[in-house]
Chain A
């Protein structure tokens, strides 16, 4: 949108034509600081504003909200990989063969394994004899 003062700005700019003596501001600051009289200052605690007080909490909440949003977006776009560890464990436990393997894996001795192999071999031989 065009500024209403654009004509003036284009034609006259912002230089007012006023000047100051060289080093005026440096000299003024020094002179002014020196001429300040003694005043009595009552020490006060400048109270922080409401915003200054709640700002850390707002930032913390925003950070958590951001992390939560990121997780949601990530889960949304990776549907097949969305199962949590708990959900995967639940699926595995539902599958009975997995339960058996799971339960057995810690207590199977070498002897059991040899017997297991033999029984497999025997059952295979029976299959062969039934279907020559």
Chain B
């Protein structure tokens, strides 16, 4: 197996604006970010096939708008922003298709979880996912980014356009609500 080439973000960003190199550079971007973006999307949309579609849309959108990316922000921030917007839009569209209210997150996501063949968590993991699904959209996002990805608040602030203080408060409330939910279900 060939050794994987080291990923150099500054070099890749430069190559993205070179017509001769941009396609291969974007291939490197896909290889580097597909996994982390997938898991963020998956935790939002729950179902694997949906996550696959949203990830595909995310990269497609990034590729067709690559000319607008000038390197002012970090590439990861830009990609996370697209991925999160795509995830939220997808979930809302799917809820409309299923004739559910936009605010009716919990039951919709739990149904998704229980019907997903690529979820093989035990009862505790299922309960945790149900607890996360019970959170409001923004808190769910913040919780997933912090708890699973250990993303720093300053980076999260850039992606979500919210102050660090508000994000910390949001995470605190999310943790308390999840603990309460789990306490009631046990």
Contacts and interface: CB of A to CB of B under 8 A. Distances in A.
Interface residues of A, number: 31
B64 A39 contact: yes
Contacts of B27: 29, 33
Given A32-B59, A37-B64, A41-B22, A20 B48 contact: yes
A110 interface: no
Contacts of B23: 33, 36
B81 interface: no
A127 B56 CA distance: 112
Contact of A8 (B26, B71, B175): B175
A42 interface: yes
B55 A28 contact: yes
A11 B175 CA distance: 13
Contacts of B38: 20, 25, 28
Majority secondary structure, A binding face = loop
A43 interface: yes
A5 B124 contact: no
A46 B147 contact: no
26 contacts: A4-B171, A8-B179, A9-B147, A12-B124, A16-B125, A16-B148, A17-B125, A17-B129, A18-B39, A19-B118, A20-B118, A21-B118, A25-B38, A28-B34, A28-B38, A29-B30, A32-B34, A33-B23, A36-B26, A37-B63, A39-B64, A40-B67, A41-B16, A41-B66, A44-B17, A44-B70
Q: 6 closest A-B pairs (Cβ-Cβ)?
A: A17-B121, A17-B125, A33-B27, A41-B19, A46-B71, A44-B17
Interface of B: 13-14, 16-19, 22-23, 26-27, 30-31, 34-35, 38-39, 42-43, 48, 52, 55-56, 59-60, 63-64, 66-67, 70-71, 116, 118-122, 124-126, 128-129, 146-148, 171-172, 175, 178-179
